[in-house]
């Protein structure tokens, strides 16, 4: 989702900007660049089905904008995606909605 979703959406929304992503799950600051945007899932909301299995109905993600040189957070915010109607129970659709929401939020913040 990072490469095929978030990076693609951001490249479409921020033409002319260099967009790269983490190459591992280490959550370490990159060696170079100006801005590091860290995304962390902070809540998964689940609902039990009659069959006894559970489905994810909402994802909440913390987005932190950090200065790479000082390694300090500039600001943060949370965004959420919820499954409604036809996509209820489809985890991939929910993740795609969350990634799209993240790309809109990040590009809107970078345009300000």
Encode pLDDT of 53-76 as tens digits: 777 778 888 888 888 888 889 889
Q: What Rg, from alpha-carbon coordinates, does the chain have?
A: 16
Segments making up each domain of the chain, as ranges = 2-11+35-111
Q: What is the pLDDT of residue 36?
A: 83
In the block, which residue shows the tokens 């600051």? Answer: 29
The distance from CA 5 to its chain's CA centroid, rounded to whole angstroms, is 9
Closest of 110, 105, 33 to residue 69, by C-alpha: 33
Q: Is the pTM of this model over 0.75?
A: no
């Amino acid at each position: 989702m990072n490469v095929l979703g978030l990076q693609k959406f951001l490249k479409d929304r921020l033409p002319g900007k260099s967009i790269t992503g983490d190459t591992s799950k280490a959550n370490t600051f990159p060696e170079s660049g100006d801005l590091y945007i860290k995304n962390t899932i902070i809540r998964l909301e689940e609902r039990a089905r009659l069959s006894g299995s559970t489905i994810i109905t909402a994802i909440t993600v913390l987005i932190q904008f950090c200065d790479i040189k000082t390694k300090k957070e500039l600001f943060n915010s949370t965004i959420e995606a919820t499954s409604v109607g036809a996509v209820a129970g489809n985890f991939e659709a929910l993740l795609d909605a969350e990634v799209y929401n993240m790309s809109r939020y990040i590009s809107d913040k970078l345009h300000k």
